Structure 1
Amino acid sequence: MAGEFSRRTFVKAAGVAGLAGLSGDVLAQQQRLTWFAGGTGGTYFPLSNQFKQVVEENTNFTLQVQSTGASVENVGGLAQGQADFALIQNDVAFFAYNGTGIEEFQGNAVKSLRGVATLYPETIHIVTLQGSNIETLQDLEGATINTGDLGSGTQVNALQILEAVGIQQNDFTEQNTGFSQAADQLRNGDIDAAFVVGGWPVGAIEELATTNDIAFVEITDETRQNLKSQARWFADDTIPPNTYSGQSEPVQTVAVQAMIATTEDAEADTVQAVTEAIFSNLDQISLKQQFIGRDSALDGMSIPLHPGAREVFGPATTSPANETENNETAGGTTTPG
């Protein structure tokens, strides 16, 4: 099953299949498409189901939305032909396409990966409970921390952020589950803090805030600048006051970008139809509607754009993905802006 796809499975599959020339084109010819989302406690899963409704009402395709461990697992699903579309983080997309940044992708670049559209900022939430004595990132040293599903984009971001303040993996006790389980762990006192990456408000945190007094650890000033200098896909972000129960002050943090991805094997007509259906019916989308639009659909695009998406949005003239393609042609490398 898709939800059981593991880091080890990804590496094994990558070695066997070479992560190229997979069966996405066969899947794309069918009326039924598979869409990998994320955990049910985050934003990917409910948003994907809203996309499902719009696509099925406006095209001849049906979408099978699957709950997964999110970004890294979803890249594996695309690479193996298990998924036709998936939601992933733009930083994970960059790592996968360039074969860098994450252990699973080292030497296993997913050159078949293609971008469809970027959607909305995925805010880094570092949540704890009031009275935990965790007020700064440095206070997380020695703590028990849920860094997200093993191999997920959330875990990648969490480890990057902790390392930016000098906290290595052997400096804390790491737990790995989805957002809903992390909220339960906080509620039960099994962990001290959790990293949750998603567009606010995240359902699992909303629910936790109704039963417990929550608090957030901010990412500010020098730490934020240090992060952005190391990884340009991070952007400044703020969780507005009263986003969650009991949260009366804004929370400074950073964000990555959520995006829709597919592979080069997907038929252009299929990608165009699905993309056009979504972006022509945004009034039917309630989640993150204020961020999703044609004008911003190429912002932060960190991998080459699929030709079917290019038919919807036009040439990605300002996309870092174009810089990537141009530099590859010239024999160089780049990083996303």
Structure 2
Amino acid sequence: MRKICVGVAALAMFAGSLSAKEFINIGTGGMTGTYYPVGTAICRLVNTDKNFKCSVQSTGGSTYNVNNVLKKELNFGFVQSDVVYDKYNGKGKFEGEPNPKLRSVISIYPELLAFVVARDSGIKAYADIDGKKINLGNPGSGNEVTSTLIFNEYGIDLAKMAQRSVLTVQECPMALKDKKIDGYFFMVGHPTANIIDVATSMSVDLVGIDEATADKIVEKYPYFAKGVIPKGLYEGIDYDTTTIGVKAVLVADESESDTAVRAIVKAILDNFDEYKQLHPALNLVSKESLIEGLSAPLHPAAEAVFKEAGILK
């Protein structure tokens, strides 16, 4: 009888330890992008704490993530800072529907817009899209929002395109190789496996934004910044590409548990040197940059961790 009682007690303790574990899921993006591997890297760090079980979900990207975080179907989501701004303030595609419950958790890395085109497409500038098949981005994605904005700033009529494709970004490399499209957009941390894949399979170019237009966009939209995709990151791209960028921001609903938010932020700060080595997009990140480019208020638990670390005063 004593052995049975001890066994039952052990099972109860084991069950209790399982029930105490807090589960965290992070909405990322396509598997060939940067959100997915960086999200996986963050979960790897979080999972060193046996009190948590962190997992990633491949999703359609920024708009999907921000909407589902606020529906509480995701705990956290990677979202471009421009989409965060629009959702929080009720601007752009969220016009008249602000959501003050959205909270920033941490700024992950800078994302720069790449306009990837087949070299034989004849596209050398944004104005060269007449009669071309261009993938602006799947509906509601940050890629679609940003690429459309840039064409509008140039005063370019998108109706002149031969085809306005709505593929997900992970479908684009194969579509470009198969000549189903002439070019596609991807706002991403560089280098990314997506563009590496297509650039090693065929000749491609990156189309830049001229300095004057980039300056105008940055002045008009405070969540953008000018940036350069350096030469040498992708096969055959031996020139720097001027473009605009945003920040990849991890967001949550204001009601997200303090323990989950603390676990994410502390996992990154406490293992920062290791974190920076987990993906090339993180190479230039500093601890100070983790609170830059946030376009919704910090979650109180994240704010507390940054203050404890001396990053916020």
TM-score range, shorter chain: 0.7 to 0.9
- 1:240 and 2:230 matched: yes
Q: How many residues align?
A: 287
Larger Rg: 2
Matches within 5 A, 1:27-66: 31-58=22-49, 60-66=51-57
- The correspondence for 1:305, drawn from 283, 290, 298, is 298
Q: Which range moves more in the overlay, 216-225 or 205-214?
A: 216-225
Shift of residue 207, structure 1, vs aligned partner = 0.6
- Cα deviation, 1:252-308, whole Å, max 9, x if unaligned, reads 111111111111101223211221112211333321232333211111111111001
The two structures, once aligned, show a CA RMSD in angstroms of: 1.8
- The answer to whether the Cα contact below 8 Å between 2:24 and 2:260 also exists between their aligned partners in 1 is no
Alignment match, 1:218 = 208
**Which of 70, 86, 92 is the equivalent residue of 1:95?**
86
Give, in whole Å, the separation in 2 of the partners of 1:70 and 1:282: 25
Whether 1:161 and 2:154 are equivalent positions in the alignment is: no
Q: Which residue of 2 aligns with 1:291?
A: 284
Per the normalisation by structure 1, the TM-score is 0.81
Residue 158 of structure 1 aligns to which amino acid in structure 2? S
Cα distance per residue 1:114-172 (max 9 Å; x no partner): 00111211010001111211101111233211112210111100101111111234232
- How far has the Cα of 1:59 moved from its partner? 5.1
TM-score under structure 2 length normalisation? 0.87
Q: In 2, Cα distance between the equivalents of 1:60 and 1:307?
A: 21
Tell me the residue number matched to 2:257: 267
Letter in 1 for 2:233: T
Task: Mark the runs of 5 or more structure 2 residues left unpaired by the alignment.
Answer: 1-19
From 175, 191, 208, the counterpart of 2:165? 175
The CA deviation at 1:230 is 2.3
Cα distance in 2 between the residues matched to 1:50 and 1:168:
41
2:99 aligns with 110
Match of 2:60 in 1: 69
For the residues of structure 1 that align with 2:51 and 2:77, how far apart are their CA atoms? Answer: 19
2:182 is equivalent to residue 192 of structure 1: yes
Q: Does 1:81 find its partner at 2:75? A: no
Residues 47-76 of structure 1, C-alpha deviation per residue, up to 9 Å, x if partnerless? Answer: 100111100013511112100011000011
2:82 maps to a residue whose letter is D
Matches within 5 A, 1:12-31: 31=22
Q: In the TM superposition, what whole-angstrom CA distance separates every residue of 1:286-331 from its partner, at most 9, and x where no partner exists?
A: 212323332111111111110010111129xx99xxxxxxxxxxxx
Q: Which residue of 2 aligns with 1:17?
A: none
Q: How far did residue 30 of structure 1 move?
A: 6.4
Structure 1 SS opposite 2:291? coil
- The change in CA–CA distance for 1:112 and 1:179 in structure 2 (over 3 A counts) is same
* Mapped partners of 2:49, 2:158: distance in 1: 47
Deviation at 1:79, TM superposition (A): 1.1
Whether 1:131 and 2:120 are equivalent positions in the alignment is: yes
